[in-house]
Amino acid sequence: MVPFPPIPFTMALPGSTGSLPVAPQTQTSPNRPHRRQRPEVLELLRPGTFVRLSDHPNDLPPFELIHCRGGSCWIRQQAWGKLIQLEVPHHQVSSIA
């Protein structure tokens, strides 16, 4: 097991003149402004629609979408009944329409 390197810090006690370390500032070139990462655009999926997974086999029927929340979707097969569901990441689900 590799130990983590020590983290330097300064502790200011009451009545002392100690100071806390300052995080280093990153500088950007005026010709090269900082770029924001674009959020991933996910398909709007409505409950009750039929969906397929990204690695969905051809002989498996599509899943029924229960709901999507927080990056996850709950799906089920119609033959499974209403109490059996799968939770899958939203980016692996796409509508069949």
Is this prediction's pTM over 0.75?
no
The more confident residue out of 3 and 81 is 81
* 50, 63 contact by CB (below 8 A): yes
What is each CA distance from 2 to 5, 6, 9, 89, 97, in whole angstroms?
9, 12, 21, 33, 51
DSSP per residue, 37-85: PPPPP-----TT-EEEETT--TTSPPEEEEEEETTEEEEE-GGG-TT--
Return phi, psi of residue 91, to 5°: -70, -10
* 86 pLDDT above the threshold of 90: yes
Domains by residue range for the chain, with CATH: 50-95 (2.30.30)
Interval 17-72: pLDDT, tens: 555 455 555 555 556 666 666 666 667 888 999 999 998 899 999 999 999 998 89
